[in-house]
Structure 1
């Protein structure tokens, strides 16, 4: 029997992207289809989503609109691969310019609870045959924005008599089962308790054993508590979030559901991230023909106004500029890079203090440091292609995609041993170099001297051309495609159905 699965999320590349979530929701459903699933996606009708989908047609009016004058479901497809995508049309909630979550002052929209409650509720409606031609057997919700989907599914099942009072996370005899994926536990969708009544959930769902979280309402906790299975995006992160250090206040719940929690590593869509046919970079290249890598470096130096030096190791950063991403640590280590004759190219936006700190460094060292504030997908590809080293020094990192892109493009990742970074990068220690296992540089302690030492080791290896090329080639041979991860998700779906 073909498994019908609905992925529920707020972003989908190339329609809308603020981070790695969009890359996952674009690639995973396609990989599942290749494994034999019937996969579709549900998105809010943000302006770029409505403009980017092809062949949109109305499917159903929604009986609840969470404050919008009206709300409806439409079905279209993603141009390029034809992926079926449902869109919630509720223009007063979604059709806003700029960031999908924040206003012009970078403050979360005051009606975000309504906007994303509608997303979860619409997912449950599709499970109840809102589309008469298709209904999912699995609702797979991603991050806090979709966290209420499993709560609405549970409420509907209970109303039908399929599940009793809140006796625990497992629901009996549910036709539609739910999976909730944590992409980043730190973002939890917290709202005032007064907004609970607006959700239309049973009163006893606002409880410690439910959506209540320290007197407030948590969309993320709703997903964690009510979903039949929980996944996160790397095996190491799945272990880490069950500890006080990285559990964000939810470690007891996660530890209690350890038997339902699995870490499945994210993958890379090599149709998009492959230097052999990436039209966003200056010149194509591959592990067998590396000449284009140096031309990409030269083009990046010219694009960013850096000194045209082939012998200067070029360190790249494509990231949100936040403390979570460890960019405060990197800012402190900049003298180690510049003082040794290296260069740094930074693309990102985030905390004002970090933006200002990197901008000051670029003013002080215009030949060696370049900073572009904002996000530019083409420049992101150019930095990964042109860099010798990609720096991902995250405090915590559920999976991380940048280091996987870096491996594919022959830019050695320099990472903190945490989460998915620990699962995907092998340190260039003497033993690993001798055994041909090394793919990058890993530092253990999240401290300035540990990062500085890793940077020095990168310079040392760069000076040994043969070893550098061998390590780079080994990194480019790694396969982090979606096929293996999709097989694991399919096994999980089969277990549920």
Structure 2
């Protein structure tokens, strides 16, 4: 059994902006079931504090002249031990975890997540008299990137693992911020936290963690290339022997069409015809024409360029010339929200755009849809295509990252051998998006379509397999650490 301190800046169901929250809410419980002793460290945002029950005080300390308390509670869903970094000056404010009400990053994000990392370091080095010290510190994304950098300065430290969920978000700040945070001067160099004259939080994890992984095998290979490396491909090439990819799982109890609490008509492979009832109900709910013979395309996404919004909008006129309905749920860049809403206003019988995140609607759309649209320019793992597979809603995706690792194109050969479960764009262009959609519609309401659905729903997408891969990675990190200590 290993003692693992898991660092995350968001955690479903307490606080969520993206896939990290889903992973943080599912992987630690899966590791607990495999015998690991987990402690999850999370900032005490107001939204989190409203949802947790009676946290108790573990320790008090100070950083940057701010009082910081470490609180403990447990998640009622699974009993997971949750430690909260309670620092009102850093985290007690309205808005999101990273951005304010105007959609701009908090001006003091560097200070906020430096405090978060300093708490992690003090726990890791047994400085807070907790009578608990981790064997492994597992950080996620730039918000926890300083922890491996600071820990590597100490000879008697735990092993470290750093997981990249999206390399495009790097935690970049100016050099003055590095000085203001009073970080060790020895960390400011090309092979350290310095990135073209800026402070890079994510480099702390990439350069100094014993092991680094991404959330799909294909993305782990892609980020070694200039196209996907976001300027860090040189460092990642240098550390490629410590880099690997583990495909995310999903919480198969939450995302299960047979037992989904948000569905009025649950279904499985044995009663797949029930799926169409969910489509009828959603068409009624959203004011779309109720017609089981019109393919319903769903999209649940952050509305940002990465997710393929450019090629969707370029092809929208031609897409809406097809006999389809399109439902898009998400929030993101204002210009995408406005353009999509414009199309929805012009074609109210074909397209509905719901701005904002809505968990019940997300489940109902996954169940109601015939196709799921996810033509990302890059996708570290992606979860919605996996949810879609489990719900028999065939994904239409780009051939990148985790999409390439989970969706098998319905070409003639893959259909023949029974592995096809969706549709893959040859290239990420509007023309290929439309051509692939037309190809999918050519199979709509055929026996082949049902076979694709059954194949999609038949795979195991649970965390159990992925969690075992993380156990293997923990053992490698511990081995690296022991080797370094001689």
Query: After TM superposition, is the score higher than 0.5?
Result: yes
User: Per-residue CA shift, 1:206-243, capped at 9, x if unaligned?
Assistant: 11111011101010111111111101000000000001
Secondary structure at the aligned position of 2:161 is classed as strand
User: Per-residue CA shift, 1:298-354, capped at 9, x if unaligned?
Assistant: 111111111111001000000001110112211222234321210100001111221
1:8 corresponds to which residue? 7
2:300 corresponds to which residue? 318
Task: Give the 5 Å matches for 1:88-487.
Answer: 88-129=85-126, 130-155=128-153, 157=154, 162=155, 174-463=156-445, 465-487=446-468
Secondary structure at the aligned position of 2:387 is classed as helix
Output the CA distance in 2 between the equivalents of 1:367 and 1:394. 26
Output the CA distance in 1 between the equivalents of 2:223 and 2:36. 30
Larger mean Cα displacement after TM superposition, 6-15 or 200-209 = 200-209
Larger mean Cα displacement after TM superposition, 325-334 or 247-256 = 325-334
5+ residue gaps, structure 2, are: 479-486
Shift of 1:401: 0.3
Give the conservation status (yes or no) of the 8 Å contact 2:161–2:477.
no
State the Cα RMSD in Å.
1.1
Secondary structure at the aligned position of 2:336 is classed as helix
Output the CA distance in 2 between the equivalents of 1:30 and 1:200. 36
2:73 corresponds to which residue? 76
Secondary structure at the aligned position of 2:307 is classed as coil
Secondary structure at the aligned position of 1:27 is classed as helix
Aligned length: 477
Give the conservation status (yes or no) of the 8 Å contact 2:215–2:402.
yes
Secondary structure at the aligned position of 1:266 is classed as coil
Output the CA distance in 2 between the equivalents of 1:261 and 1:471. 34
Output the CA distance in 1 between the equivalents of 2:284 and 2:394. 21
Shift of 1:282: 2.7
User: Per-residue CA shift, 1:147-186, capped at 9, x if unaligned?
Assistant: 111112123x0xxxx2xxxxxxxxxxx4401111000000
Give the conservation status (yes or no) of the 8 Å contact 1:234–1:266.
yes
Output the CA distance in 1 between the equivalents of 2:109 and 2:368. 39
Task: Give the 5 Å matches for 1:58-73.
Answer: 58-64=57-63, 66=64, 68=66, 70-73=67-70
1:166 corresponds to which residue? none
Cα distance, 1:484–1:240 mapped onto 2, change above 3 Å: same
Instruction: Give the TM-score of the pair, scaled to structure 1.
Output: 0.94
User: Per-residue CA shift, 1:38-97, capped at 9, x if unaligned?
Assistant: 111000110111222234111111232x353x1111111112111001101101210112
5+ residue gaps, structure 1, are: 163-173
Output the CA distance in 1 between the equivalents of 2:244 and 2:477. 14
Instruction: Give the TM-score of the pair, scaled to structure 2.
Output: 0.96
Give the conservation status (yes or no) of the 8 Å contact 2:5–2:137.
yes
Output the CA distance in 2 between the equivalents of 1:15 and 1:3. 26
Output the CA distance in 2 between the equivalents of 1:495 and 1:243. 25
Secondary structure at the aligned position of 2:408 is classed as coil
Output the CA distance in 2 between the equivalents of 1:386 and 1:131. 52
